[in-house]
Amino acid sequence: MAECPLPDDGADTVLLGHGSGGRMSARLIGEVFLPALGNPILDRLGDSAVFDAGGLRLAFTTDAFVVHPLRFPGGDLGSLAVHGTINDLAVAGARPLVLSAAFILEEGYPLAELRGLVASMRAAARDAEVHVVAADTKVVERGKGDGVYVTTSGIGIVPRGVELGPECIRPGDAVLVSGPLGDHGIAVLSAREGIAFDTDVVSDSAALHHLVGALLTSGAAVRCLRDPTRGGVATVANELARAAGVAMRLDETAVPVRPGVRAACEMLGLDPLYVACEGRLLAVVAGADAERALAALRAHPLGAGAARIGDVDAADDGPPVRLRTPFGSLRALDVLPGAQLPRIC
Amino acid sequence: MRYVDEYRDAALARALLDDIRRAVTRPWTIMEVCGGQTHTILRYGLDELLPDTIELVHGPGCPVCVTPIALIDQAIAVAALPAVTLCSFGDMLRVPGSGGDLFTARARGGDVRVVYSPLDAVALARRLPERQVVFFGVGFETTAPTTAMAVRHAADLGLTNFSLLAAHVRVPPALEAILGAPDNRVQGVLAAGHVCAVMGLDEYRPLVERFRVPIVVTGFEPLDLLQGVALCVRQLEAGRVALENQYARSVRPDGNRAARALLAEVFAPVARRWRGLAELPESALELRPAFARFDATRRFALEAAPAAEPPDCRAGEVLRGVLKPPQCPAFGTRCTPERPLGAPMVSSEGACAAYHRAGRRREEVHHRGAEAPRRMEEGFSVAETPRFCASVVKSGSAGG
């Protein structure tokens, strides 16, 4: 496996690795955006901004979708743009209310294709029981876009009593995932020009708010939720461990990965722990409630493959996230500098 | 997963480790040649599971790492030319040249693309007849046959807009240089199984005889490596010196005849300067005259401008197994995957990247083994010092 880092800290241009979700992305945010736009809400860098307004606790988020190809096994840009923003609200514990969508269209893009993507968006919103209530459209010259880019934003309401966040994580907690990892990333790769390979893997793209609702009402003490998109579970675990000031120990043999995803990762030299999911939940719950939380997840169709993959320990002078290998040795599970790249040989 | 899980079985690994522990009576230094093997060792923590008296050092088998800076500079120069599309494997795009890398060249407007096979570059040349498509071919004898296939395919198609910037290298000359060096510490070698799957075993017999060093052709899964170590240690303890084939499920004594024939048809061995190993005779592959029209250095009249290695990068010693990555003063401080001084810190097969990724830091290597040098070098972070000292004290009280 490989990464795609920024080789020169002093680079004066944006590189693809800045969009990987890894350390380069973090540096871009920390050095360019937060100094200019930072405030107590944004500085938390949560999946959603959570704040009080008019007696309600609101969650607000926005996400841009530039997936390539626009269609992939198990989904397309339209459904992904709906699911992604709903999930950012859901992992804040919010019930999604409404979405907005902004389309950047490239001159020459077939209208029939666009209709297909928008229909997929409508179906995803209908299934998730949310409405797209505001929208915008811009067209750019041919060659200045990649067909279609979509940005969706969403507002949700956080029920009283729901307190989620890395600051709630304690040593002794358990780390759960709601299903097998890496399906989305591998499904998209399998459809990408130049790599295309035959696989039965389909994207896990799905709206997670009902699954989150089931978990939050199960009675289990839920500390923190994330959806492991860019950078995968390894990156999210690192972000949480650092933010919470704890250490996490994941067990490689407990991590659920489908055979098709494993095979593709072996072939391409990728590590499924860093591959994106778009319909999986990473949940940190009180250790004593792990079984109850797992039962609640497994009772929902989107959580049927839920598993406990690790534990939270007190921070020590070692790396924040460690992986126990099948041979019993421990190694650091670090954040990648940039995106994973397939290996040479 | 079949054909993979069998070679990662924890119970079998324990049995092999027990075998090795029983066999070892003295310290031995064994080199695994291939960067893929290094990554397996670090990924599974095999070096920590082996007895302390067995030291694994890492070899030159990272093709990206040994590619001289001058060649990377040539690739960056070609990528900047108008109407040129440069293709290579993703791993190559991040390796620093004298001024930036190929990703930076792309950000500056060059058409640089990642391909997964050299044949994809040929297909691209057919699709883009108005552009010159250059494939930057890198790799050992494992990937060289696919590049040879691409060149021959381009010749069969009569393409005039495809060319090759060749950075293919051969393993045996590098091993010869390492084993023959005055500061060589390597007592046994785990040769790269994939390379031998193509080339067969014959090239390695003269090395065994000349340097009196056991060579075990070894695979890439954790059990392959443990078995390779076990075979090597048994030879060393018995005072035997032989060529053995641990990776017999893939490696036939005569290799892959079709691939070797293709290599011989398209390429000829030439001398090449390796990063860290100076110029080695017959160590690189150059297009034969019949295919010279596909040579990008000729087509674009590329000069081999002299390029200096960064002075504080000790990649050369790492690639020869003289220095372990965490023993480099720059490791993890002035040299990180985001700010690499040399290719071994960025390549997916690079030894420095493997150590960094596995979370190994300088002190961890220092307090293993007999020498335990605890020097502090200029540049070592002062903020790290208390942590370093605490770690040394802890390991001292734990290990005696």
> Residue B47 sits in a domain of what CATH number?
3.40.50.11750
Q: Which pair of tokens denotes residue B118?
A: 């050299």
In a domain, B194, yes or no: yes
In terms of domains, do B164 and B262 share one?
yes
Strands A222-226 and A282-285: antiparallel
Please answer yes or no on whether B357 and A16 come within 8 Å at the CB atom.
Answer: no
pLDDT at res. B367: 35
pLDDT, averaged across chain B: 87
pLDDT at res. A313: 97
**Which chain A residues have a beta carbon less than 8 Å from that of B4?**
262, 266
Return the residue of A nearest to B348 by Cα.
A2
In a domain, B101, yes or no: yes
In terms of domains, do B195 and B266 share one?
no
Please answer yes or no on whether B90 and A269 come within 8 Å at the CB atom.
Answer: no
In terms of domains, do B74 and B164 share one?
yes
User: Which CATH number applies to A50-162?
Assistant: 3.30.1330.10
In terms of domains, do B151 and B87 share one?
yes
Task: Tell whether the model's pLDDT for residue A45 goes beyond 50.
Answer: yes
CATH topology match: A50-162 vs A166-341: no
How many contacts (CB atoms, under 8 Å) link A and B?
Answer: 143
How far are the Cα atoms of A344, B90, B198 from residue B142, in angstroms, in the given order?
10, 17, 6
Kind and range of the H or E element at B360? none
pLDDT at res. B126: 97
In terms of domains, do B33 and B177 share one?
yes
* Chain A interface test: which of B136, B348, B387 (most A C-beta within 10 Å): B348
Return the residue of A nearest to B14 by Cα.
A327
Confidence of residue A5 (pLDDT cuts 50, 70, 90): very low
In terms of domains, do B155 and B209 share one?
no
Please answer yes or no on whether A343 and B104 come within 8 Å at the CB atom.
Answer: no
Please answer yes or no on whether B104 and A7 come within 8 Å at the CB atom.
Answer: yes
pLDDT at res. A11: 60
Whether residue A294 lies within 8 A of chain B, CB to CB, comes out as no
Please answer yes or no on whether B348 and A269 come within 8 Å at the CB atom.
Answer: yes
Residue of A6, A9, A325 lying closest to B44 (CB–CB) = A325
Which residues does chain B have with pLDDT short of 50? Answer: 363-400
d(CA A339, CA B337): 12
Q: Is the dihedral of CA A140, A144, A148, A153 positive or negative?
A: negative
In a domain, B357, yes or no: no
CATH number at residue B143: 3.40.50.11740
Q: Which pair of tokens denotes residue A97?
A: 């209310």
Confidence of residue A7 (pLDDT cuts 50, 70, 90): very low
In a domain, B333, yes or no: no
Report the candidate in B341, B321, B346, B318 with the shortest Cα–Cα distance to residue B330: B341
In a domain, B328, yes or no: no
Task: Tell whether the model's pLDDT for residue A192 goes beyond 90.
Answer: no
Chain A closest CA to B240's CA: distance in Å? Answer: 30
In terms of domains, do B47 and B25 share one?
yes
In a domain, B91, yes or no: yes
pLDDT at res. B360: 83
pLDDT, tens digit (0-9, with 9 covering 90-100), for A46-87: 899 999 999 999 999 999 998 888 999 999 999 999 999 999
In terms of domains, do B126 and B240 share one?
no
Tell me the ipTM for this assembly: 0.76
In terms of domains, do B262 and B152 share one?
yes
Structural domain for B21, as ranges: 5-64+172-245
Second-level CATH architecture of A166-341:
Alpha-Beta Complex (3.90)
**What ranges make up the beta strands (E) of chain B?**
28-34, 54-61, 84-88, 111-114, 132-139, 162-168, 188-192, 215-218, 243-245, 267-274, 278-287
* Between B321 and A181, the higher pLDDT residue: A181
In terms of domains, do B105 and B136 share one?
yes
In terms of domains, do B38 and B186 share one?
yes
Q: What is the mean pLDDT of residues A7-27?
A: 73
pLDDT at res. A193: 66
Chain A closest CA to B73's CA: distance in Å? Answer: 15
pLDDT, tens digit (0-9, with 9 covering 90-100), for B233-266: 999 999 999 999 999 999 999 999 999 999 999 9
Whether residue A4 lies within 8 A of chain B, CB to CB, comes out as yes
In a domain, B382, yes or no: yes
Contact A121, A152 (CB under 8 A): no
pLDDT at res. A9: 44
In a domain, B264, yes or no: yes
Whether residue A1 lies within 8 A of chain B, CB to CB, comes out as yes
d(CA B3, CA B278): 39
Please answer yes or no on whether A344 and B4 come within 8 Å at the CB atom.
Answer: no
pLDDT at res. A343: 54
In terms of domains, do B30 and B46 share one?
yes
Task: Tell whether the model's pLDDT for residue A145 goes beyond 50.
Answer: yes
d(CA B97, CA B189): 31
Residue of A328, A331, A343 lying closest to B42 (CB–CB) = A331
Q: What is the mean pLDDT of residues A245-257?
A: 97
Task: Tell whether the model's pLDDT for residue A188 goes beyond 60.
Answer: yes
**What ranges make up the beta strands (E) of B99-187?**
111-114, 132-139, 162-168
d(CA B272, CA B177): 13
In this structure, which amino acid lies at residue B10?
A: A
**Which chain A residues have a beta carbon less than 8 Å from that of B89?**
342-344
| Cut 0.80: pTM above it | yes
Domain ranges in chain A are 50-162, 166-341
